[in-house]
Homo-oligomer: A and B are copies of this chain.
């Protein structure tokens, strides 16, 4: 059976980040609590536009979003998937280099940019936490470049499902392990998936079907994907079959 390593996000700290919020100083928390405002967006809403000034930074509370770029001729590439606890905006960056768009209804916990930047300047451990988050994103972006540049369509799809399962396993509302497998709720349409994988919608759909016919996944209504054997899917994604945990 697959081992899950769920690390729950801290609900008290607005910069929710895995379990490190245990380090949060009560005084800092109080400052952040005073600063924050919640805002909800509808499906497809633009949370940020490439090149536009950001007046707020935010942490995703519920829902998912993509970061993407669209070329003049309409070709689109998604460069990152944002899940609950992910942070939008970074100190010293007044604007986003990419479009950020809600995949479904999204609730953000927002902080006025200048106040937040001041807080970061005065609070080294928050700065260091943001650094860690950025470095994680950097590694993830480079990992994804390997997938985009060198993997086949089937491997891309398997790699995405594996990575999404692992990321959800670290937060709440993620995949439900049980019955010798894992159930995953896909937050993306086939088109959004294709844009993330650097494929067309048709190829994405075909490879999805191929994985289903090979018994690696089961496709259920409402974009639910059942993974009977997580290790087998990892192997399909080109990972050495050490049957490691979902992390």
Contacts and interface: CB of A to CB of B under 8 A. Distances in A.
Contacts of A127: 124, 127-128, 131
A79 B150 CA distance: 11
A80 interface: yes
Interface stretch (A53-61, A87-95, A101-109): A87-95
Counting every copy of the chain, the complex holds: 2
Contacts of A90: 131, 135
A169 to B, nearest CB: 20
A35 interface: no
B198 A98 contact: no
A240 interface: yes
A142 B93 contact: no
Q: Nearest 10 CB-CB pairs, A to B?
A: A149-B198, A79-B142, A141-B141, A148-B148, A77-B149, A77-B146, A75-B150, A148-B149, A77-B150, A97-B139
A142 to B, nearest CB: 4
Nearest to A67: B142
A145 B92 contact: no
Contact of A130 (B131, B145, B146, B197): B131
B71 A198 contact: no
A44 interface: no
Interface residues of A, number: 40
Given A131-B127, A135-B134, A238-B72, A198 B142 contact: no
Contacts of A149: 77, 148, 197-198
A176 interface: no
A238 B128 CA distance: 37
Best-surrounded residue of A79, A124, A138, A143 (most CB of chain B within 10 A): A138
Contacts of A69: 142-143, 146
B134 A71 contact: no
A168 to B, nearest CB: 21
